[in-house]
Amino acid sequence: TVEAAAKLFGDGAALRALREGEDFGAKEYEKALADPSLPEDCKGLIRARLLPETLGHIPVLERLMKA
């Protein structure tokens, strides 16, 4: 999908879409962490891996968008 968007609208639009997706994902992970019904092992995975990776993608995408 991202490749098709890049071909159709240009790389900048594709990078913006990816950035928005990472923002959305980070917010969803944060909401999940606040959910008392989510099992602790799931929260551990979000804290240890998923959220940090998602947040790590954002500065990379921002640098690419500026290039």
The model's confidence at residue 67, banded by pLDDT at 50, 70 and 90, is confident
Chain centroid, CA 64 distance in Å: 15
Q: What is the largest distance, in Å, between two alpha-carbon atoms of the chain?
A: 43
Residue 3 has pLDDT above 90, yes or no: no
pLDDT in tens, 22-64: 999 999 999 999 999 999 999 999 999 999 999 999 999 999 9
Instruction: State how far the Cα of 53 lies from the Cα of 18, in Å rounded to an integer.
Output: 14
Q: What pLDDT is attached to residue 59?
A: 97
Q: What pLDDT is attached to residue 12?
A: 83
